A and B are shown apart, each in its own frame.
Chain A
Amino acid sequence: MKKGLFIALVTFLVLGFNNVYAMSKNDLEEKLIKSYTINGTTFQASDSDITKIKRYIKQNDISESDADYISKKVDEAIDIIEESGVKSLNELTKKDREKLVSICNDVSEHTAIKVTASKKTITIYNMDGTIFDEFDSEVVKKTGTTNILLMTSVVSLIGVAFITRKKF
């Protein structure tokens, strides 16, 4: 009886523990659109990208595990940029850039979110296979130069390896 109770308690705690740490879509959205101060510079997604992020999360069933995974990867990306001490993406060393790209590849591989990139266009797909958004790579280049986290957060959300790679 005691053993059974103990097992039930442990199971409940483990499950409860997991649920406390599973990230919801709303939490992920908040994490991606808030502002961050890294190396003295404040970064936040632009208005239009906030709109897109909100719409993507609302429209697509991002699972808690995917959201969790993306959130961890955003933290990893922030750590890389913090450790590098840079204030602009252009100042990152080749090694750091490769680390960021690898994070994006991980997200792309481990989540159900799909993006394709040609050198000219980046296409993001909804989970039902329809196109969510399409934009010119050149536009990304022009608008993203000082907004590292915009790129990182959008990148982490949609698993694009190419936006950051393109800038490299």
Chain B
Amino acid sequence: MKIKKTLYFFLVSCLLTVFLSSTLLLMTLLNSRYMMKLFQKNNIYEIIAQSTLEEMHNYIYQSGFNEEVLTSLFTKEEIEKSFKEMTKSIYKNVPFVLDTKVLERNLEKNIKIILEKNNIMEYEEEALNNFKKEIIDTYKNNIDLKSFLGNVPEYIVIVKNVIITIVMISGIGFFFIYLYLKNDRKKAISISLFFSGCVFFSFYFFIKASINIESIQFFNECISKLIVVLLNNLLKQFLGIAILCIFCGLLFCFEKKREVL
């Protein structure tokens, strides 16, 4: 009997943990609106704009142009708009094509101004095209993460559906077992909450100890910063939930004082 009860406690603890972690993932990592808010809060768009421009600067020295060729090529608002559209398309798994027409137009304009200013009549078309291609590719590499992600958007949709199912099943399962445990409900909840708190705490510390998140370098500065911000935020959420679980678990340990007549 005791073993049966213990098993039910274990089951209800696991179900609550699964329910909480799945809900957390649904509300954070798998939620495009949350991600966009996070990027806004961490000035990601400004970092992307700066980093893109710095990378483009590397190509000037080789090209014979000066910094004027990069004047007003793009604005932070354009990057923000493109990035938001791209994020939505990743989460909905719909096609996305990064609009580089404005950039190309501005680049052509700048090149024309420089050619006219310096009275340059003769130039190699192919060489200029190679330069333009590098600048546009740099812009694409820093912003169009979707092409870089490959099949991930497909999996995001599938994973989201799977997690929603898991949330529902674990929630329903937890509820039914909770109903079944008539006299030990409070005990079951407090044990489950303590268990969840332990799991989330250990996950937080394990990841912090195993991976040096701040030194992640992936592809370029923009993507690296994105990943760092994401991971740090996710871990913070887990820590927050862990503390909340322990606290709520403590609350459920308090028994009502029975009045003595």
Contact = CB atoms under 8 A, between A and B. Distances in A.
Asked if chains A and B are in direct contact (CB within 8 A), the reply is yes
Interface of A: 116, 118-120
Given A116-B217, A118-B219, A118-B224, 9 more contacts: A118-B217, A118-B218, A118-B220, A119-B148, A119-B218, A119-B219, A120-B141, A120-B219, A120-B220
Q: Is the interface of B mostly helix, strand, loop or mixed?
A: loop
Contacts of B220: 118, 120
Contacts of A119: 148, 218-219
Interface range on chain B (Cβ under 8 Å from partner): under 10
B144 to A, nearest CB: 13
Interface in B198-243: 217-220, 224
A60 B218 CA distance: 26
Contacts, number: 12
Interface string B125-143: 0000000000000000100
A118 B222 CA distance: 12
Contacts of A118: 217-220, 224
A116 B216 CA distance: 10
Q: Is the interface of A mostly helix, strand, loop or mixed?
A: loop
Contacts of B148: 119
12 contacts: A116-B217, A118-B217, A118-B218, A118-B219, A118-B220, A118-B224, A119-B148, A119-B218, A119-B219, A120-B141, A120-B219, A120-B220
Contacts of B218: 118-119
Interface centre among B141, B218, B224 (most CB of A within 10 A): B218
Interface of B: 141, 148, 217-220, 224
A141 to B, nearest CB: 15
A118 B217 CA distance: 6
Q: Which 7 residue pairs of A and B lie closest in terms of their CB atoms, listed nearest first?
A: A119-B219, A118-B219, A118-B217, A118-B218, A120-B219, A120-B220, A116-B217
Contacts of B141: 120
Contacts of A120: 141, 219-220
Contacts of A116: 217
B135 to A, nearest CB: 16
B55 to A, nearest CB: 10
A120 B51 CA distance: 15
A116 B141 CA distance: 20
A119 B148 CA distance: 10
A116 B220 CA distance: 13
A120 B220 CA distance: 7
A116 B219 CA distance: 11
A85 B141 CA distance: 37
A118 B218 CA distance: 4
A124 B141 CA distance: 23
Nearest to A137: B219
Nearest to B221: A118
A144 to B, nearest CB: 20
A120 B217 CA distance: 10
A120 B141 CA distance: 10
B79 to A, nearest CB: 19
A119 B220 CA distance: 8
B185 to A, nearest CB: 48
A123 to B, nearest CB: 8
Contacts of B219: 118-120
B134 to A, nearest CB: 12
B64 to A, nearest CB: 22
A120 to B, nearest CB: 5
A90 to B, nearest CB: 18
A115 to B, nearest CB: 12
B52 to A, nearest CB: 14
A119 B141 CA distance: 11
